[in-house]
Amino acid sequence: MTTVITTNIVTDRDAYLPLAKAFAEDAAAHDKGCHGMKVLVNPEAQDEVTFVSHWDSQEDFLAHVQGDTFKKHIPGMGAYYVSGTDTFLEEA
């Protein structure tokens, strides 16, 4: 099991959040190997949105990045996206 923590910096968190939540729900429902994705905010950083997702493998996450859910949602989210980082954690 792989946990991916994706932290994005965005220009308008209020506008980005509904798009991010729809993306997370779609990924959890449709993307191979996804066991859930949550959208979290840092109350001390108005420009930060974090996704925590659980996958069968890192390969499943990387396929998700190239897949239909990404293609469907990322254009709308991209209007608010500044930068992001992914951290991959493996279950011990």
pLDDT digits (tens, 9 = 90+) for 32-75: 999 999 999 999 999 999 999 999 999 999 999 999 999 999 99
CATH code where residue 43 lies = 3.30.70.100
- With 90 as the cut, is the pLDDT of residue 91 above it? no
pLDDT of the residue at 92: 87
Rounded-to-integer distance, Cα 20 and Cα 43, Å: 17
What total of structural domains would you count in the chain? 1
pLDDT of the residue at 40: 98
Q: Which domain holds residue 40?
A: 2-90
60-63 long-range contacts, Cβ below 8 Å, gap at least 24? Answer: 60/2, 60/31, 60/32, 60/33, 60/34, 61/2, 61/4, 61/33, 61/88, 63/31, 63/32, 63/33
